[in-house]
Structure 1
């Protein structure tokens, strides 16, 4: 049974046409609209901030140089998600091959690398509460660590469905797996997350792995520059 996905809206199709024609503002709008979601999906594969940003830039360059292949049978979000995930998985496979061929190199003396806490938007209040800020950071650290600890197949589904809010059908299309598999993996991922977090922090409001502000703007302009377009 085929999965019906939302097709591109006329407004979205028009935006794609403008971007395909090399209109800088259209490209910038597409990037800023989808940055957060795509960054989180890519990072769910690579579990490294710098690698995720690098791969996301590669994915955008690939997408914008092949916009003529976007047919609109699925949404632009789904199409971009597939490209970004493929790029991330290719990078992950390359990293694994490199590790297998570099067995003679000693492990770093500093031990395992702790996950970097990704900055996230805080309250706009002029009187920031240091304790509240610290609690928020600790909460997000726990969520990020629990998510990173999931097996890859569960982690991708969890990020797509829970953090990004994709439908089961959209997730299945992006990951090229059956909808039933998405539901099964999500159930197991939630159970693993709940087991790890339940006793420590109770109900969780997930707002992890943001990609906005200066980082979003920097990547947007880098893609525009590499496409050879004027600002």
Structure 2
């Protein structure tokens, strides 16, 4: 269990965690990242459609959030607040890339101030991992093929398991719109995958373990919290 309280082994209350993070407590910042990394990564990747870009964007989103944590007043949950920052950061990155392509289609992309991530180590059981990865890739490609508005709703509702009200709040949409988009997204996904692999209940778009630790360390380093 993730915990800051070694005496009780219990997860601290969100308000206490936010207060500690605002005071630049490394342990609190790490725990917040670990709690929310999976959801935020999936939401960002639903916009970038690229693993490396998603990690870069998520790093920037965390920096933006922790540097402005004093602006969080609890009007929504911390998860919703972070999700909005992550989505807006991803959308801003995509708009900037599109503007750059229109101005100079052949120009090299400007390098962002991002700490590079090393490649993950080779898994111990490559055949098993490859078979699992092939299925996951198929599911991910089917989700990637959804139009943007439907992809975000699908990620929030199906992959993350948020309810209709939570998704509407996070994306700033009416609940009726969320319901309609989810229905259409499911239909599009079903049309793509049903005949090949049938119902798939796997954890797609993983972002945990070493990848989570790398991003957490990078954010902590860039916040320059000192000892």
For the aligned pair, the TM-score class normalised by the smaller chain equals 0.7 to 0.9
Matching residue within 34, 37, 42 for 2:36? 34
TM-superposed deviation, 1:96:
1.2
**Inter-partner Cα distance in structure 2 for 1:151 and 1:38:** 19
Q: What count of residue pairs does the alignment treat as equivalent?
A: 203
Q: Match for residue 49 of structure 1?
A: 51
**TM-score under structure 1 length normalisation:** 0.82
CA-to-partner distance for each residue in 1:141-165, whole Å, 9 max, x for gaps?
1101000000011001101110011
**TM-score under structure 2 length normalisation:** 0.84
Q: Match for residue 17 of structure 1?
A: 19
TM-superposed deviation, 1:129:
8.7
The 3 A distance-change label for structure 1 pair 133 and 222 is closer
- Secondary structure at the aligned position of 1:184 is classed as helix
TM-superposed deviation, 1:36:
0.8
Asked if the contact 1:153/1:185 (under 8 Å) is kept, the reply is yes
**Inter-partner Cα distance in structure 1 for 2:46 and 2:33:** 19
TM-superposed deviation, 1:73:
2.3
Please, which runs of 5 or more residues in structure 1 have no aligned partner? 1-9, 107-117
- Residue 81 (structure 1) aligned with residue 77 (structure 2): no
TM-superposed deviation, 1:91:
0.5
Q: Give the number of the structure with larger relative contact order, counting CA–CA contacts within 8 Å between residues 6 or more apart.
A: 1
Q: Match for residue 211 of structure 1?
A: 207
Asked if the contact 1:224/1:230 (under 8 Å) is kept, the reply is no
Please, which runs of 5 or more residues in structure 2 have no aligned partner? 1-11, 108-118
- Residue 91 (structure 1) aligned with residue 87 (structure 2): no
- Residue 225 (structure 1) aligned with residue 227 (structure 2): no
TM-superposed deviation, 1:72:
1.4
Matching residue within 190, 193, 210 for 1:194? 190
- Residue 151 (structure 1) aligned with residue 147 (structure 2): yes
Q: CA RMSD in A?
A: 2.0
Asked if the contact 1:163/1:206 (under 8 Å) is kept, the reply is no
TM-superposed deviation, 1:134:
3.5
Moved over 6 A (4+): none
The 3 A distance-change label for structure 1 pair 133 and 221 is closer
**Inter-partner Cα distance in structure 2 for 1:90 and 1:56:** 12
Q: Match for residue 181 of structure 2?
A: 185
